Chains A and B, each alone.
Chain A
Amino acid sequence: MNTVTEARLAAERHVLEILSAAEAQVPASAATFSRRSFLKLTGLAGGGLVLAFWMGDEATAVAAEAAGGAKSFAPNAFLQIAADGTITILSKGPEIGQGIKTAFPMIIAEELDADWSKVKIEQAPINPKVFGRQSAGGSRSIPTSWDQLRQAGAVGRAMLVSAAAAEWKVPATELSTEKSFVIHKASGRKLAYGALASKAAALPVPDAKTVALKDRKDYRIIGTSIAGVDNRKVVTGAPLFGIDQTLPGMLYAVYEKCPATGGKVKEANLDQILKLPGVKQAFIVEGNGRTTEVMPGVAILATTTWGAFNAKRQLRVVWDETNAATDSSNEILEKAQELAKLPQGPGVVRADGDVDKALASATKKVEAFYSYPFVSHSPLEPMNTTAWVKGDTVELWSPTQTPDPALGLIANTLGIPVDNVKINQTRVGGGFGRRLMNDYACEAAQISKQAGGIPVKLQWTREDDMTHDFYRPAGYHAFKGAVDGYGKLTAWANHFITFTVDGKVPANSSNYPADEFPAMLVPNYRVTQSLLQLGTPTGPWRAPRSNGIAFAVQSFLHELSVAAGRDHLEFLIDVMGEPRWLEPRTEFALNTERAIAVIKLAAEKAGWGRKLPEGRGMGLAFHFSHAGHFAEVAEVSVDRAKRLTVHQVTVAGDIGPIINMSGSLAQCEGAVIDGLSTMLGLEITIEAGRVQQLNYDRYPILRQGMHIPKIESHFIQSAYPPTGIGEPSLPPVAPAICNAIFAASGQRVRTLPLVKSGYTLA
């Protein structure tokens, strides 16, 4: 194995680690904290109460305390109540448009019974040793923080109540709280939190486990609609984003990499580049061969962004492509179609029952081949990071989704200790999974170092962004399914054709989850896989894996219901069967009762089964992903020229209690638009290892005016702990619309994007 491949494999392993961490299935109920590590109390200058609560792992907390003693033990994610009543809450995770900077503080403020208008929210510093998980991904922010944040608020409230009880010499049980006041109803007295803060700070901290949490019926903040806490800054154009950062003496950097992943610089016209106006430096960066850190390329540093962009256009690089990607999407498709002829792939993802026997004895059999393409993330803010290397330390300002693992990557890139890396989290102009990777941050650090330790802002062009992504992998599914004489689903075989880097295991986000629907719901169920070699990097894209699998699986399920002569709604409910949790029987597993409830709700709200005019139809799809149960019904019209109108998408979801109604509805609206946009016209193609789509002109994201459907979202706010909403409402969009196209026209869509089969928006 050559060194390039080893580095590439190291990068692959790294993405896997990030994904595993991002999608860790830690039920809220398992997140228990000792009193000792949970809360720390310190005074606030000028009087007031500071509650610091531990969000890292307990062992580290205890070790830190033992090593440094209580005095030097740094308070971490904290809640602060000043004498003037101002409540400051630190939000630990990156704001990428998912609304977490509003949702996290809402949970604390609810249990604290705070006056929301007096709550100030600040971005927490990046320090995973103190804060624990600080990444935004996997729709995991809410489920991994729910208990911690509620307890933090509740403990604060309990102390304020105790302080008031002592002041008034009445039992705490006679007191209530509301909007930052402690109230003694019997005597009509009330005291503001601010006035009680210093007294509360002198009290012992109660054990979080002994403090009662609010009953849901008493919520005043959770479940309401609260607008984004930084909206005023956004609408006035304040410098919030990574691209907005500047440092004194900073140079603007661009970085040119080989258009085929893995190519090295043979030579470049650096002398000519250095003569261009505004250009201060131009040099070759060797890189460490890791796609997740720094691949080889040429850096240009100029006094303005335009100077750097202009020079980049005149840069001529001769690439050594000995070890570069040679992928061709056309060849990939041909190979996949060839492999699809095999009854199964060599890798077994899951095998339950006896699929072959069930197929042989089936009343009706259906076979179908589904495919979907590579797609890019294309967040509107192109990748960038500002970095300043000073000796063996570095400080960065980065719009990343994963600042915590970025620390180690940057340390590795520069060969410095991880403690010497400081990252400042900026607002993120769109994530969608792209910024789970920190390659741009590593590049910025390396360029600052090689430039002699000057501050640089590395700015990727849109073309860089689109051609150096970690693409949503294409996927190919060869299905065989069967129903018996009663129309019951008896067999399901899926030969999944996907990608590999090392020839052994699937490439990142190219794997098939063993518990993906309808696993455990069909007695004879088999998923096998074949692996195609790929040199172009792949990675997680909103609702990784499920975003493509749901299209194939939920469309094929509809095909089987049609073969069985059964209504899709009734068939889907029948497939779910008895109310139960599937393995692993935690809140991160499918629960058939929750599934049936959302399916019924979507159908009811959409008016499933009502008579529609010729050329108009409804389609249904369910999918469970990222701990969310979602069913969606699309209503579409299709004419003979395949002109499509999506009239409405009705969304029904169960993610437990909704934290922020406005934010949750926004995520559903965004997911439907994203799903429709992607299924309709988006495709990344690759030839000779080079991505063919360079900018939005050839990557037509949905626009205002392109018949944006009406979107109606409904939530079943079940009593289960709340889970995230950034991802799970996306996967059902494509199959619901494709099933509706079938209902409207009799045409089955088995290939995305729709434009490939001649569909256009009416």
Chain B
Amino acid sequence: MATVRLNVNGQNRVVEDVDAQTPLLWVLRDSLGLVGTKYGCGVAQCGACTVHMNGNPVRSCQIPAAAASGAAITTVEGLAKADGTLHVVQQAWMEHDVPQCGYCQAGQMMSASALLAQNPKPTDADIDAAMAGNLCRCGTYHRIRKAIHSAAAKLQKA
């Protein structure tokens, strides 16, 4: 058992008495109570557990917590500003009424926000490449695509 130091959503967090191999997903959910990041498959097939590690989208079910030490981790809970202003992606998700069951959407938005941070005006092909790792069992793919385009348009204006 080990002590893992993480930086999550801009805060330094110390997790004690944890198996250092525990995937980041479960440390976030069980130790830090950040349950917005979801478990779907445990084998990096569904993308429900997507978080940002130094700005890059990663599947937190595959990252041992110890390996995340020292990196800046952002989860869906850290996507909005501290004053509650939603991220442009979250706003677009609401405007386009994207969620059905909603379970995959945290992962979808983390992939989408990472895409827009690196590519503020993605083409459909860019969206395909960036979002292919995120399954939506309800089939909200059209609205996800529309929401990403409209979030990108908002970023252009801003």
A→B interface (CB under 8 Å): 96-99, 225, 227-228, 230-232, 234-241, 243-244, 246, 252, 277-278, 304-307, 309-310, 378-382, 427-432, 459, 461-462, 662-663, 666-667, 669-674, 677, 695-697, 701-706, 708, 711
Contact = CB atoms under 8 A, between A and B. Distances in A.
Contacts of B139: 669-674, 677, 702
Nearest to B104: A380
Contacts of B103: 241, 379-381, 429-430
Given A231-B97, A237-B34, A381-B38, A704 B131 contact: yes
Given A227-B97, A667-B100, 13 more contacts: A97-B138, A235-B93, A236-B36, A236-B86, A237-B35, A252-B30, A306-B23, A310-B19, A380-B46, A669-B143, A696-B45, A696-B46, A705-B131
6 contacts: A98-B100, A232-B86, A237-B76, A380-B104, A430-B101, A666-B100
Given A666-B97, A696-B135, A704-B141, A230 B102 contact: yes
A238 B90 CA distance: 13
B99 interface: yes
A235 B109 contact: yes
A695 B45 contact: yes
A429 B109 contact: no
Contact of A670 (B38, B80, B140, B145): B140
Residue in A235, A236, A305, A673 whose Cβ sees the most chain B Cβ within 10 Å? A235
B157 interface: no
B31 interface: yes
B10 interface: no
A304 B109 contact: no
A237 B94 contact: no
B31 A304 contact: yes
Nearest to B30: A304
Contacts of A230: 102
Interface in B14-59: 18-19, 22-23, 26, 29-31, 33-43, 45-46, 48
Nearest to B129: A705
A244 B128 CA distance: 30
Nearest to B65: A306
A378 B137 contact: yes
A21 B128 CA distance: 42
A96 B46 CA distance: 19
Contacts of A674: 137-139
B137 A430 contact: yes
Contact of B142 (A244, A459, A708): A708
A704 B23 contact: no
B68 interface: no
A304 B97 contact: no
A703 B132 contact: yes
Interface in B115-158: 127-129, 131-145
Nearest to A379: B137
Contacts of A677: 139
A429 B45 contact: no
B26 A304 contact: yes
Contact of A666 (B46, B48, B143, B145): B143
Interface residues of B, number: 62
Given A96-B101, A429-B101, A429-B102, A237 B142 contact: no
B128 A704 contact: yes
A59 B132 CA distance: 54
Taking chain A's interface residues, is the majority helix, strand, or loop, or is none over half, making it mixed? loop
Contacts of B35: 237, 239, 243-244
A679 B22 CA distance: 37
Contact of A380 (B38, B133, B144): B38
A144 B109 CA distance: 36
A422 B109 CA distance: 35
Contacts of B105: 234-235
B153 to A, nearest CB: 18
Contacts of B138: 97, 430, 670, 674
A703 B135 contact: yes
A235 B94 contact: yes
A703 B39 CA distance: 18
A237 B86 contact: no
A328 to B, nearest CB: 26
Contacts of B90: 235-236
Nearest to A276: B19
A381 B30 contact: no
Contacts of B75: 237
A472 B93 CA distance: 32
Contacts of A227: 94-95, 97
Nearest to A710: B142
Residue in A244, A662, A696 whose Cβ sees the most chain B Cβ within 10 Å? A696
Contacts of B45: 695-697
Nearest to A726: B100
A306 B20 CA distance: 11
Contacts of B109: 235
A493 to B, nearest CB: 35
A442 to B, nearest CB: 22
A700 to B, nearest CB: 9
Given A304-B22, A704-B132, A711 B43 contact: no
A677 B141 CA distance: 12
B44 to A, nearest CB: 9
B1 interface: yes
A99 B140 CA distance: 13
Contacts of A305: 26, 29-30, 39
A381 to B, nearest CB: 5
Nearest to B87: A235
B19 A277 contact: yes
A97 B102 CA distance: 7
B38 to A, nearest CB: 7
A234 B99 contact: yes
Contacts of A673: 139, 141
B8 interface: no
A704 B127 contact: yes
A663 B106 CA distance: 20
A428 B101 contact: yes
A243 B23 CA distance: 17
Contacts of A669: 139-140, 142-143
Contacts of A232: 86, 94
Interface in B50-86: 75-77, 79-80, 86
A306 B102 contact: no
Residue in A228, A236, A277, A673 whose Cβ sees the most chain B Cβ within 10 Å? A236
Contact of A701 (B38, B79, B129, B135): B135
A607 to B, nearest CB: 21
A304 B26 CA distance: 8
Contact of A705 (B29, B106, B132, B143): B132
B87 to A, nearest CB: 9
A237 B99 contact: no
B29 A701 contact: no
A711 B142 contact: yes
Contacts of B43: 462, 695-697
Counting from the closest, the 3 A-B pairs by CB-CB distance are: A237-B36, A673-B139, A97-B101
Contacts of B86: 232, 235-236
A459 B40 CA distance: 11
Nearest to B110: A237
A64 B45 CA distance: 52
